[in-house]
Amino acid sequence: MKKSILVLLAAVALTWLDTGCGKKDESKGTEPAKGKERVFVMVPKGVHPYYEPCFEGFKDAAAKYGVKAEYRAAKGFEVPQEVEVIENVIARHVDGIAISALDDQGLAPVIEEATKAGIKVVTFDAPAPTSKALTYIGTMNEAAGYAGAEQLLKLMNNEGEVAVLQGGLGAPNLNDRFKGFERCLKEKAPNIKIVAHEDEQGKIDVTVNKTEALLQAHPNLKAIFGVSAEVCPGAAAALKQQGKAGKVILAGFDDLPDTLSAIRGDIVNFCIAQRTYKMGWLSVEKLLEAIDGKPLPKEIDTGVLVITKQNVDTYMQDMKKEFAK
């Protein structure tokens, strides 16, 4: 091919990319100012493997709509740290932020600050109900806690002692789960006694220690239920160490890889999988709709699934079908 033709083809290709035709933009959201790429940032409660599929969904949707996706996580689950991360993001004048709120009151002021700066804010996974966030995208937590207890009471034959572990006592999403769990047992199985409800700070090592302490303090403990993601892997490890795997019922939220292995190995009886990928994906779509001036509903239910040995190897494919392109 002649050099002049090659130069012409290259120029056409460059123009094509420059006008955005090369991107998989399905034109959601009014066009950003020329030459300015839109930036959306996901801020989880802190570093935790639970958020990996959330960001997968966020990234995939961002690629589809031609938005730049970023992830900014504080090291620990500490309110001041999460606030600082969000303040840094606000200072960069990004276009949208999706937050998993560690706390309601603690985050409301920084969410207001972002809103005043013209940044669209949604919450995903964990809401901040009194804040100015435009919507909450995630599990309906009270109902999910109730559903967890309904599964558990059957396994417990409606009686015995259960201990509940929770990753932080301030987050409304986790407190709602516990509320639903407690309400279900009161209504449907009053002979089941909650003998402990303890904080493991969202940390697996703390969960292991707490589980060992619970086993010592409550020799008749029949079940452990986790309202956050690290409980099943942490408690499973402790039960194994104590030779109690399969002897104490273990169940709880989320489908971390170690939880799924423990279901296959009969150490975890069931888990409640949240639709984390969908939370991330919808966060991008709702931020774009907000930029377009569309009103958003107060909350968007992403739904949950109960995972047992029966569906542990098939549920993920079923969940992802929804997003197959």
Closer Cβ to ligand BGC, 269 or 302, answer by number: 302
Per-residue binding letters, 266-285, with ligand BGC (x by CB under 6 A): --------x-----------
The residue with tokens 């984390």 is 276
Give me the least distance between CB of 91 and ligand BGC, in Å please.
25
Structure tokens at 258: 């170690």
Binding flag, residue 202, ligand BGC (CB under 6 A)? yes
Q: Which of 39, 43, 48, 124 binds ligand BGC (CB under 6 A)?
A: 48
Question: Least distance (Å) from ligand BGC to the CB of residue 177?
Answer: 8
Give the span between the Cα atoms of 142 and 174, in whole angstroms.
Answer: 9
Of 38, 45, 59, 278, the residue at the interface with ligand BGC (CB under 6 A) is: 45
Contacts (CB under 6 A) with ligand BGC, residues 3-32: none
* Sign of the torsion formed by the C-alpha atoms of 274, 275, 277 and 282: negative
Angle at 176 between CA 49 and CA 50, to 5 degrees: 5
Residue 39 vs 237, nearer CB to ligand BGC: 237
173 binds ligand BGC (CB under 6 A): yes
**Which among 281, 278, 284, 298 has a CA at the least distance from the CA of 120?**
284
Residue that the structure tokens 């801020």 belong to: 43
Q: Which stretch binds ligand BGC (CB under 6 A): 43-51, 82-90, 208-216, 284-292?
A: 43-51
> Residue 204 is encoded by which pair of tokens?
């697996």
* Contact status, residue 181 vs residue 145, Cβ threshold 8 Å: yes
The 10 Å Cβ neighbour count of residue 225 is: 30
Could you tell me which residues come within 8 angstroms of residue 89 by beta carbon, excluding any fewer than 6 positions away? 41, 43, 72, 97, 114
CB closer to ligand BGC, 125 vs 142: 125
Q: Where along the sequence are the contacts to ligand BGC (CB under 6 A)?
A: 45, 48, 50, 100, 125-126, 167, 173, 202, 228-230, 253-254, 274
